[in-house]
């Protein structure tokens, strides 16, 4: 890895507001000597590759031009007078290309980097590769498919503060979203919960619903009236709530609470949907000495994979030997994915 100096360089950081990771990344870049200008980016609904109904398709077509123009103008208006050395987009790039074009006119030596934090099978960000000098993705299969476009594989990172040890309280933990597009992950987790109950294990499993399900708000009623899929979604969550009243939440847990609970667990459950990339929760778990149960078969190709630490399941074989959870964790080196090293690797290109 070539040494990369970011001292006295200005980096335009474009990424969503997700679990405060933008602050951790900004802070690390500042420790490396850079000045960081962070702007929140968003995903256009038109890039979502799941099936849309007619109303959703029309709405996406109308909104898309305004969506990109507004973001681009906001950033340009707020970086006037700044000399940008690097652009780093993480997750996706939502402004128009004219933003990069304008920055390159001001600084022909500008270098641009993007890290795709989702699979192209979920969000169709493929067209954004053409905007950037250096391209990385967490999805190994996308990197194989688009190697000729210069897309390189790089797993996600973990943060030093994640490694704080806590007294173990739970055997199994899963805290995730019950978004309508990802509801298919719930049955697999529930099957693991049933097994954990029989084995007498202590578990903490929570799903944050997209709508309040214990009482119908006006928003919920309207969505159920206009969209049949959302009515089915609410009915499904209510059915789960009747059997497992503690699992479905109307809203998210605070981030500090999530971190605390995961730090108190022996094993983290990860449910992957149509992606080969290894989730952030998995990298974090292994970096902090937690075992992982996952349905992502691609994890066996990773340097940090050890069968002593990772149990791979699938919908046809969800059985787990729960004595395995309490066996000692086998130390594995993931220091190369610690955030400081992860960023050094990106900017060494």
How is the chain split into domains, by residue range?
Answer: 10-157+338-347, 161-333
Class in CATH terms, 161-333:
alpha beta
pLDDT at 269 over 50: yes
pLDDT at 217: 62
d(CA 313, CA 311): 6
pLDDT at 124 over 50: yes
Work out the angle at residue 330's Cα, subtended by the Cα atoms of residues 324 and 336, and round it to the nearest 5 degrees.
135
Percent of the chain at pLDDT exceeding 90: 49
Nearest Cα neighbor of 98 from 90, 213, 106, 1 is: 106
**Pair 44, 128: CB distance under 8 Å:** no
d(CA 252, CA 208): 5
Phi-psi region of 318 (alpha: psi -120 to 50; beta: other; left: phi over 0): alpha
pLDDT at 202 over 60: yes
Cα 216 to its chain centre, rounded Å, is 30
Phi, psi of 206 (to 5 degrees): -140, 140
93 — pLDDT class (breaks 50, 70, 90): confident
pLDDT at 319: 82
346 — pLDDT class (breaks 50, 70, 90): very high
Q: How many CB atoms lie within 10 A of CB 239?
A: 12
Same fold, 10-157+338-347 and 161-333: yes
pLDDT at 216: 59
Q: How many CB atoms lie within 10 A of CB 305?
A: 16
**Pair 255, 19: CB distance under 8 Å:** yes
d(CA 87, CA 41): 13
1 — pLDDT class (breaks 50, 70, 90): very low
d(CA 207, CA 189): 10
253 — pLDDT class (breaks 50, 70, 90): confident
Q: Each residue of 41-55: pLDDT tens digit? A: 876 555 454 555 555
pLDDT at 309: 97
pLDDT at 120: 86
- Helix, coil or strand: residue 106: helix
Mean pLDDT across 3-27 = 90
157 — pLDDT class (breaks 50, 70, 90): very high
Kindly tell me the sign of the dihedral angle through the C-alpha atoms of 135, 137, 142, 147.
positive
Q: In this structure, which CATH number among 3.40.50.2300, 1.20.1070.10, 3.40.50.300, 3.30.700.30 belongs to the domain 10-157+338-347?
A: 3.40.50.2300
Q: Each residue of 184-199: pLDDT tens digit? A: 788 889 899 889 989 9
């Amino acid at each position: 890895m070539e040494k990369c100096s970011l001292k006295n360089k200005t980096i335009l950081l474009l990424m969503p507001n997700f679990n405060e990771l933008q602050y951790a990344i900004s802070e690390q870049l500042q420790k490396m000597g850079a000045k960081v200008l962070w702007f929140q980016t968003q995903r256009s609904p038109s890039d979502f590759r799941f099936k849309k109904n007619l109303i959703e398709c029309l709405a996406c077509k109308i909104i898309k031009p305004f969506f990109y123009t507004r973001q681009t103008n906001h950033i340009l208006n707020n970086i006037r007078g700044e000399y940008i050395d690097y652009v780093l987009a993480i997750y996706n790039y939502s402004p128009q290309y004219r933003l990069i074009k304008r920055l390159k006119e001001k600084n022909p030596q500008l270098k641009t980097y993007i890290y795709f934090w989702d699979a192209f099978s979920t969000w169709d960000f493929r067209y954004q590769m053409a905007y950037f000098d250096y391209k990385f993705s967490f999805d190994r299969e996308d990197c194989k498919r688009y190697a000729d476009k210069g897309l390189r594989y790089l797993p996600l990172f973990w943060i030093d503060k994640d490694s704080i040890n806590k007294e173990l309280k739970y055997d199994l933990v899963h805290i995730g979203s019950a978004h309508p597009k990802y509801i298919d992950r719930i049955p697999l987790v529930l099957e693991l919960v049933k097994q954990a109950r029989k084995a007498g294990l202590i578990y903490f499993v929570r799903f944050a619903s997209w709508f309040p399900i214990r009482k119908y708000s006006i928003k919920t009623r309207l969505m159920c009236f206009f969209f049949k899929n959302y009515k089915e979604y609410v009915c499904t969550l209510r059915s789960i709530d009747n059997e497992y009243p503690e699992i479905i939440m109307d809203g998210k847990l605070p981030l500090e609470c999530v971190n605390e609970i995961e730090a108190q667990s022996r094993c983290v459950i990860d449910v992957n949907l149509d992606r080969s990339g290894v989730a952030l929760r998995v990298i974090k778990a292994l970096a902090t000495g937690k075992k992982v149960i996952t349905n992502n078969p691609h994890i066996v190709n990773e340097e940090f994979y050890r069968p002593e630490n990772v149990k791979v399941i699938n919908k046809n074989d969800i059985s787990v030997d729960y004595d395995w959870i309490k066996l000692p964790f086998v130390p594995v080196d993931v220091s190369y994915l610690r955030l400081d090293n992860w960023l050094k690797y990106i900017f060494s290109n």
